Amino acid sequence: MSDRIPVTVLSGSLGAGKTTLLNHLLGSAGDRDIAVLVNDMGDVNVDAELVAEGSDIDVAGGVEELSNGCICCELQDDLEAAVARLAREYEFDHLVVESSGISEPAPVARLFTTESRAAARYRVNGLVTVVDARLFVDTFGGEGTPERTAAAEDDRPLSDLLVEQIEVSNAVVLNKADLCSDAELEEVEALVGALQPDAETVRSSFSEVDPAWLLDTERFDEAEVSDLPGWKRALADDHDDEDHGDDDDHDHYGHRHPDEVYGVSSFTYRQRRPFHPERIADVLRDLPDGVVRSKGTLWIAGNDLRQTVGQAGSSVRVNARGPWVASLPEIEQELYRSNRPSLEWDEEHGDRRTEYVVIGTGFDEQSLRERIDDALVTDAEWDAVGDLPAGPFPTENEAETALREPTPTASE
């Protein structure tokens, strides 16, 4: 067992119950000496004051606050300095970092797993996401519920943040369970399992969770890579199982189904034939309501850049992530391939291909597959690819475009 101090990173959307959970942990810590670092986007750290009021800890003592910024980006240096100061000035046996409602937990955890002052004194114990179960049902229930943004400081759709925080977690607290039916909670648990197969889940009301379940279980291993999100796991599993002897353009895609509990399923679409830019954009803008998460790389005809699509709920965004190696001059191709011997290469198409994972509940997989197939270029279109419209996909590296944005609530 390492003598470094264990760290639990606590994330979750605004109002999910993170601060309530933190106060519950402090009030029922038993013999544990817990230090707390609270991050708030505002210039007044309200959460730190609430934690201090709800416990015996003095803000000037074991509660450290970082305000007016986000610890996953602007305040990384401040975070490192703060946790180093805590370890230097106080004695405690566990640190809980409560990130702001718009923070992504992965960059925070990375600070404790790289060469830094923080990593020398701490180790990551777990990445815990608090989910408002009622909000999750309403956001992904397929009823067209208008969606909020993550926060005024962040214009990302709330669905994006909810999904991303679950995908990097290894423990999920389904809070406000008392506001959901058993059937709704079972569906949420199944969706969480599809988004992050390695995450343990627990139901709670008013964030009342057994501290031992949250703090005493080692769930994070820096050497392990098994905690991949569901969409990455699907791609990895399909690569292991794929029949590489199948060269038929229209049939060369794999699929994977997890246990179809409560209608939750996933599949992976693979293809070595490009998409018509406008037809595939229409498909992505009109995904079935039951598709909760889809992500992958698309081959768009006439576009030399890899297009990475990410969809969560009613939000669909596309990023250009560098050129296809096959689009580079031959000398550069050979150099790149010599440095990347594991790069999968097709003699005709090079590295160009589509790999797209779909996760959801209650949607017709075969119908969606057929719609995606119909968006592929025809032989005639492929022969005249230069005549195709550019469509909405980015043509500059690192550029992003939104194919679909959620309808904001009236209050927003």
Lowest mean pLDDT among 28-32, 115-119, 306-310: 115-119
Distance from C-alpha of 268 to C-alpha of 255, rounded to nearest angstrom: 5
Query: Domain 230-404, what fold?
Result: Hypothetical Protein Yjia; Chain: A;domain 2 (3.30.1220)
What's the pTM? Answer: 0.72
More confident residue, 129 or 140: 129
Q: Where in the chain is the domain with CATH 3.40.50.300?
A: 5-215
Q: What is the pLDDT of residues 266-307, one digit of tens each?
A: 899 999 999 999 999 999 999 998 898 898 999 999 999 999
Rounded to 5 degrees, what angle do the CA atoms 113, 192, 256 make?
Answer: 100
Q: What is the pLDDT of residues 346-359, one digit of tens each?
A: 999 999 999 999 98
Distance from C-alpha of 297 to C-alpha of 307, rounded to nearest angstrom: 6
Instruction: Tell whether domain 5-215 is in CATH 3.40.50.300.
Output: yes
Distance from C-alpha of 220 to C-alpha of 124, rounded to nearest angstrom: 6
Q: What is the pLDDT of residues 184-238, one digit of tens each?
A: 999 899 999 888 888 999 999 999 999 999 998 888 766 543 455 554 555 555 5
Q: What DSSP assignment string belongs to 246-267?
A: ---TTT---------GGGEEEE
Q: Where in the chain is the domain with CATH 3.30.1220.10?
A: 230-404
Q: Residue 75 has what pLDDT?
A: 45
